[in-house]
Amino acid sequence: MKRLKIKPIRETLRKYFPIVLITALAVFLRLYLLEERVSFDADQEEIAFKAKEILSGNPVLLGPKTSLGGFSIGPGFTYLWAIFAFFLKGNPISGAYLSVFLGILFIVGIYLVTRKVFSENVGLILSFISALSVSFISWDQNPWAPSLFYLSEIITFYGIYLSSSKKYGLPIAALGLAIGFQSHFAVFLLILPVAIYLLIYRPVVEKKNTITSFLVLTLSVLPVVIFDLFNGFINLQRLLLIFSLGREGLTSPVAKIVTTLVSNSTNILWLHFSIPVSRLIFVTTVLYSFWGIFRNKSYRPLLILSNLFLFIPFFIFLFYKANFSEYYLMTAVIPFLILLGFMFSTIKNKFVALLILGIFSFLNVKSFIFIYKPMNLHAKEQIVQEIVKMGGESGYGVSLSTELGYGFGYSYIFEYYNAKPDTPPLKNQQRIFTIVAPSGYRGIEPMMGVDGIGLRWEGLK
């Protein structure tokens, strides 16, 4: 009897050992020198302060504002940040650990999804690519609300794919969209491809699951709706403004949008492909998927859905007449990864597959070693710690002599170290520190420097 119990355990361990190993690799790569590779700028400081409000007992109803029209998404990411901040006692690194955690969930998610739609081997290949890709690593080390996006998109994608055969497909898709609403406005770009696919492949509709889907979506937008009810529907007006911008602005150059679509897709393989090589990889992958649509009936719905997710947001921006932010086409990453999975599923020669993965691994490990992010969180903390060491917790001023956009993060870090300097310094203040970023900005010579940030002690005047 004991042998009968031990054997299934061994089989389970053997079965899941590869994905456990890949996940462990992903965790190591994302945590390696994390503070020196993570930013703590405007987006991070804003969310950190809101998370602090939550921990102080004040509810937050709006998430970060989008760059289009100032519309605010849901506050879900802020509440997740607050959970990590609670356990880490408000440490500025809290958001980075959250982002890494979400990235790991995505890697496990892409494995679970693609092993179902393709095979175990393809699931492991795509999870390995996601784990080792410097593009994904950099994304996962950037703590901001879009850290949720890839996870939300793969959930949405899988739910919609299942919806034509499984009654629980729509609730899964609703969950993905609900999470996406806590992440970024780009989730709205997924609505049209979802609708088109549901028109082509009618979903299995059941009253109970339809109600569940509606409730999930309603709960996701409820905090934003409550805010609007008490604030004159200002956020709704901002949302409508986004669409008015689309009618009144200037269309982004087509070449820029095409280049963005291609680079966002192929960057998951390597960040430094030349433009011709990126285009060759992209076009080859897409054309191969078109071949699959016509020749491979079993994968046809999956490939159609992938191409809808890949190209519909692209076409939206072709005709959208307003400023176009490149990262809005992050919607292309998941469908392109699925298309790569289809290619790997048709490769019968193991040597070819291993050769491709070997080249991919070499390029990304080489790039990973040389990742450098100036003016990172570690540098800012070192500068603040030196100021507190020399000046104490108060009674001095701090001047920020920085390029535009380089002065964020210090307010929260000073609070974390229980320091309350006067920023900017008071008139006639005699004890003044000057933070210079980048180091040497406007010819200011610092007395010390850390990763591109300089510190100067002005002393008595």
89 φ/ψ angles, rounded to the nearest 5 degrees: 55, 40
What's the rounded mean pLDDT across residues 127-145?
97
Contacts with 193 (C-beta within 8 Å, 6 or more apart), sequence order: 305, 308, 309, 312, 313
Look at residue 240 in the predicted model and tell me its pLDDT: 87
pLDDT > 60? residue 433: yes
At residue 246 the predicted structure's pLDDT band, cuts being 50, 70 and 90, is low
Look at residue 461 in the predicted model and tell me its pLDDT: 45
At residue 205 the predicted structure's pLDDT band, cuts being 50, 70 and 90, is very high
At residue 16 the predicted structure's pLDDT band, cuts being 50, 70 and 90, is confident
At residue 248 the predicted structure's pLDDT band, cuts being 50, 70 and 90, is low
Say if residues 439 and 449 touch (Cβ distance below 8 Å): yes
Q: What is the per-residue pLDDT across 337-359, written as a single tens digit (0 to 9) for each?
A: 999 999 999 999 999 999 999 99
Model pTM score = 0.94
pLDDT > 80? residue 3: no
Q: Between 264 and 66, name the one with better pLDDT.
A: 264
Say if residues 191 and 152 touch (Cβ distance below 8 Å): no
Q: Between 270 and 319, name the one with better pLDDT.
A: 270
Q: Between 47 and 460, name the one with better pLDDT.
A: 47
What's the rounded mean pLDDT across residues 41-66?
95
Q: What is the per-residue pLDDT across 60-105, written as a single tens digit (0 to 9) for each?
A: 999 998 877 789 999 999 999 999 999 999 999 999 999 999 999 9
Tokens of 434: 């000057």
* C-alpha–C-alpha distance, residues 348 and 353, integer Å: 8
Q: Between 29 and 430, name the one with better pLDDT.
A: 29
Q: Between 309 and 253, name the one with better pLDDT.
A: 309
- Dihedral (Cα; 169, 175, 177, 180), 10-degree rounding: -140
Look at residue 5 in the predicted model and tell me its pLDDT: 59
Tokens of 236: 């709704």
pLDDT > 70? residue 249: no
Query: Any idea what DSSP says for residue 444?
Result: P
pLDDT > 80? residue 9: no
Residue type, 144: W
What's the rounded mean pLDDT across residues 444-454?
92
At residue 6 the predicted structure's pLDDT band, cuts being 50, 70 and 90, is low
* Lowest mean pLDDT across 155-159, 233-237, 416-420, 456-460: 456-460
* C-alpha–C-alpha distance, residues 438 and 417, integer Å: 23
| Exposed / middle / buried, residue 274 (Cβ in 10 Å: 0-12, 13-18, 19+) | exposed
Mean pLDDT of the chain: 93
Q: Between 189 and 12, name the one with better pLDDT.
A: 189
Q: What is the per-residue pLDDT across 22-36, written as a single tens digit (0 to 9) for each?
A: 999 999 999 999 999
Look at residue 430 in the predicted model and tell me its pLDDT: 87
C-alpha angle with apex 146: 143 to 147, nearest 5 degrees?
50
Look at residue 242 in the predicted model and tell me its pLDDT: 80
Distance of CA 57 to the CA centre of its chain: 27
At residue 1 the predicted structure's pLDDT band, cuts being 50, 70 and 90, is very low
Share of the chain above pLDDT 90, in %: 84
Helix (H) or strand (E) holding 398, with range, is: strand 397-402
Residue whose entry in the numeric block shows the structure tokens 């996406």: 180
Tokens of 48: 């950190």
